[in-house]
Amino acid sequence: MEISLEEAIKLIRSYTRPLAPVRLPLFGTLGCITAEEIVARMDQPPFPRSPYDGYALRAQDSLNASREAPVTLSVTGRSYAGIPSEVALGAGEAVRIMTGGVIPEGADCVIAQEQTDEGVLQVRIYKKLRPFENYCRQGEDFHCGVRLATCGIPVTAAVLGVASSTGCTELSVFPKPRVALISTGDELQTLGQPLGKGQIYSSNDPHLLGRMAELRIPVTENTNVRDEMDELTRAIEKASSNSDLIISTGGVSVGQRDLVPAALEKLGAEIVFHGVAIKPGMPAEFAVLHGKPVLALSGNPFASAVTFELLVRPALATLASDLRIDARIVKATLTDSFSLKCPVTRFQRGILKNGTVSIPGEQGNGQLKTMIGCNCLVAIPSSPESLPAGTFVDAYLLEGGIYGI
Ligand code: AMP
Ligand code: MG
């Protein structure tokens, strides 16, 4: 007996354990979720610095300066970015300074060189400055001890930049789940090889690999296996040893060569459910093997695409502690009426635009072609009557997940 989609998702979430945090080199954490706060270890910038190419001076010395009546100061040193001046600055003195240079002790402002005659030993100042004018204070960006990022936020490029600026080289994050993908079927031929009679090229693994790449989920293994019990059990057993989640496609229904359920039982997996009241994808099975979740999906190309979005994404989101990977559902209205009745929720591929969704033809389980150009899956609720145009439905976005549509 099939269980409802809601029940299936609830079970997937409760049987899937979030992966424990790991410490990784900073750059390897991009796209993960932080498992610790990032706290500033120092002031940034660590010293007062110049925002301009010009001269550091004391504002007091520029009191009456103007273009008509410049003030002349002696240039006593140089401070370039990374090459600070060794001398402190006294009254009537200036230090030649470049952007990013340390403002020397004794100086309290910087004049841009355009406001001077750019003199070498002496410089004429054409403008009066206020104390701390053009002066980037130490800790202008942040002070030591300040919390820069909270636990539980996505590591973005900005997080990498800020963490680096405070000298952070490693970060504790919730890692991305590693997925093993197994496509089953005697009829599957490897791409590049000629097709024998009755053979087809596998479209499921390229499609699902593509989806996982779009969602930034690493895949550690991708194998095609024949409908042979030994081969299947070996492949599943091996997959469980180097992945956090196993996805299989094909061989999960009630046909004579549908061996995945028996293989999982033979391996001693805990079978959580087998059969979900949706179309397509009804035979989907969920099991736990050696603590690893296994999602066995129907091999029909559209069925595997639908169940990936509905069932695999919640499992990945739970493993990664990352809600962005979860299915994203928006409400939309049907552009046209929908007359195909179904005793269970039926998923159709659709084109969502400005809150309305249209459903192209050729939606068979084995037909993948019209997926191209579609940007959502539309949940058509079971209904004894056809649905009129304007009916509100759920649209599951087929977006690039973490990195937006
Ligand atoms: P199954 O779920 O194994 O009963 O397969 C259902 C249908 O999907 C059959 O027509 C299979 O040939 C097809 N199929 C199974 N696996 C794949 C795959 N990896 N790529 C494309 N079609 C597949
Ligand atoms: Mg098969």
**Averaged pLDDT for residues 171-196:** 96
Q: How many helices (H) and strands (E) does the chain have?
A: 7, 24
Question: Which atom of ligand 1 lies nearest, measured to the CA of 187?
Answer: 12
Residue 364 above 90 pLDDT?
no
User: Confidence class of residue 341 from pLDDT cuts 50, 70 and 90?
Assistant: confident
Ligand nearest to the CA of 283: 1
Ligand nearest to the CA of 208: 1
pLDDT at 405 over 80: no
Query: Which ligand approaches the C-alpha of residue 253 most closely?
Result: 1
Q: What is the pLDDT of residue 292?
A: 98
Q: Which residues contact 400 (CB under 8 A, 6 or more apart)?
A: 214, 215
Indicate whether 404 pLDDT > 50.
no
Predicted confidence (pLDDT) per residue in 134-151, tens digit: 999 999 999 999 999 999
pLDDT tops 80 at residue 274: yes
Residues with CB under 5 A from ligand 2 (ion): 185, 250-251, 299
Identify the band that residue 334 occupies on the pLDDT scale cut at 50, 70 and 90.
very high
Q: Which residues line ligand 1 (CB under 6 A)?
A: 183, 185, 187-188, 200, 202-205, 249-251, 253, 255, 258, 298-301, 366
How many A from CA of 218 to the centre of ligand 2? 25
Residue 218: its H or E element: none
How far is it, in rounded angstroms, from Cα 329 to Cα 123?
Answer: 66
Taking the centre of ligand 1 as the mean of its atom positions, its distance from the CA of residue 28, in whole angstroms, is 36
Element containing residue 272 per DSSP (H, E): strand 270-274
SS3 assignment, position 163 = helix
C-alpha 384 to ligand 2 mean position (Å): 32
Looking at residue 399, what is its pLDDT? 81
Where is 55: in which H helix or E strand? Answer: strand 54-57
Helix (H) or strand (E) holding 161: helix 157-165
The predicted-structure confidence for 211-233, as pLDDT tens digits, reads as follows: 999 999 999 999 999 999 999 99
Residue 281's closest CA among 377, 369, 195? 377
Calculate the average pLDDT of the chain.
96
Instruction: Please report which confidence band the pLDDT of residue 299 belongs to, taking 50, 70 and 90 as the band edges.
Output: very high
Ligand 1 atom at minimal distance to the Cα of residue 205: 19
Higher pLDDT, 254 or 341: 254
Q: Which atom of ligand 1 is nearest to the CA of 255?
A: 4
Question: DSSP letter string over 317-367?
Answer: HHHHT-GGGS--EEEEEESS-B----SSEEEEEEEEETTEEE--S---TT-
Ligand 1 pocket test, pick from 249, 254, 308, 368 with the greatest ligand atom count within 8 Å of Cβ, gives 249
Provide the Cα torsion 87, 91, 95, 100; round to 10°: 90
Residue 357 CA to ligand 1 center (angstroms) comes to: 28
The mean per-residue pLDDT over the stretch 71-83 comes to 98
pLDDT in tens, 40-53: 999 999 999 999 99
Taking residues 107-129, report their average pLDDT. 98
Q: What is the pLDDT averaged over residues 321-327?
A: 94
Percent of the chain with pLDDT over 70: 99
Beta strands across the sheet bearing 179-184 = 219-225, 179-184, 245-249, 292-297, 285-289, 270-274
pLDDT of residue 383: 85
Q: Does position 403 have pLDDT exceeding 50, yes or no?
A: no
Residue closest via CA to ligand 1's atom 23 equals 299
Ligand 1, atom 3: nearest CA belongs to which residue?
250
Q: At 79, phi and psi to the nearest 5?
A: -135, 110
Ligand (nearest to CA of 228): 2
On the question of pLDDT at 266 being above 80, the answer is yes
